[in-house]
């Protein structure tokens, strides 16, 4: 076997760099909602405002949603899904704040039980990202097990509540998720290339970036954990697993929508022809 020529190696490196660049730009487009919300957090952290900070962030969240819908950046159906995420997130926030898990230290009148209404938009941002990524990367899933994934997603969400009274089952649920997703792949396009990734890996990666975003959010004082009251410190890495589990609920909701739309299962070129998840058309990322 002959070694690759310098020219051939350079072309492969250049091609890889181009794909990485396109992938990064596309990710930023998918994060439009989240980026706009974090900009609002940053501005309200350093600028004195005539109304409470949390009230202004609620207005910002509603404005961002309206602008993305009005410009066609997000469809009406996607906005509906985002609203569902907002309500699920707000319910979780109200419960967690009541349990003392974290607090909201700034001012606002648009609050329920110590929780600002804008907080649901942080969960809505996750839903927006998943909707955008599905469309912009032309995502398709192969070997997805609908019923087990739905049951485990609900179990993961409920565990955020019940672990305050009974055993914390997050690791058992995580292990069950790994088993349920064994052989499940997410297929996506970057430029002209069709790639694939194990769905479990995708959840972990999204969970990591949500944990990083949580560090930014707490640094900006949008909310804080008890150990950050006197001096900001990084959010415990254990929260990464919690975010990865929460993403599963978001994904199952989006998956239900995409199955209804008929844009969930793999293209003919994505479907495994032999073995568990083997796909001769898609290359592993």
| pLDDT for the residue 282 | 45
| Element containing residue 215 per DSSP (H, E) | helix 199-219
| Model pLDDT, residue 272 | 45
- Distance, CA of 41 to CA of 38 (rounded, Å): 5
Distance CA 120, CA 137 (A): 26
Q: How far apart are CA 133 and CA 85, in angstroms?
A: 16
Q: Write down the pTM of the prediction.
A: 0.82
pLDDT computed for residue 284 by the predictor: 45
| Residue ranges per structural domain of the chain | 26-136, 138-285
Residue spans of the chain under pLDDT 50:
272-285
pLDDT in tens, 175-228: 898 999 999 999 999 988 888 999 988 888 888 888 888 888 888 888 888 877
- Please report the pLDDT score of residue 110 as a whole number: 93
């Amino acid at each position: 076997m002959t070694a690759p020529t310098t020219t051939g190696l350079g072309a492969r490196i250049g091609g890889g760099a181009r794909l990485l660049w396109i992938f990064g730009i596309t990710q930023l487009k998918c994060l439009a909602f989240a980026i706009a919300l974090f900009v609002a957090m940053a501005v309200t952290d350093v600028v004195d405002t005539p109304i409470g900070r949390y009230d202004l962030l609620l207005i910002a969240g509603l404005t961002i949603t309206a602008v993305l819908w009005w410009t066609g950046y997000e469809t009406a159906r996607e906005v509906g899904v985002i609203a569902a995420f907002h309500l699920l997130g707000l319910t979780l926030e109200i419960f967690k704040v009541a349990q003392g898990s974290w607090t909201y230290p700034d001012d606002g009148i648009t609050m329920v039980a110590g929780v600002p209404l804008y907080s649901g938009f942080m969960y809505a941002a996750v839903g927006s990202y998943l909707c955008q990524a599905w469309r912009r990367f032309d995502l398709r899933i192969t070997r997805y097990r609908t019923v087990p994934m739905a049951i485990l997603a609900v179990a993961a969400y409920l565990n955020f509540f019940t672990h305050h009274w009974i055993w914390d089952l997050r690791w058992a649920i995580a292990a069950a998720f790994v088993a349920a997703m064994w052989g499940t792949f997410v297929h996506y396009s970057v430029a002209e290339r069709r790639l694939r990734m194990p769905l479990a890996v995708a959840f972990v990666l999204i969970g990591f970036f949500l944990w990083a975003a949580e560090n930014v959010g707490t640094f900006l004082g949008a909310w804080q954990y008890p150990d950050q009251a006197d001096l900001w410190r990084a959010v415990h890495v254990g929260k990464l697993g919690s975010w990865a589990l929460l993403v599963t609920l978001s994904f199952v909701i989006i998956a239900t929508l995409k199955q209804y739309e008929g844009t969930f299962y793999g293209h003919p070129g994505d479907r495994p022809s032999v073995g568990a998840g083997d796909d001769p058309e898609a290359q592993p990322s």
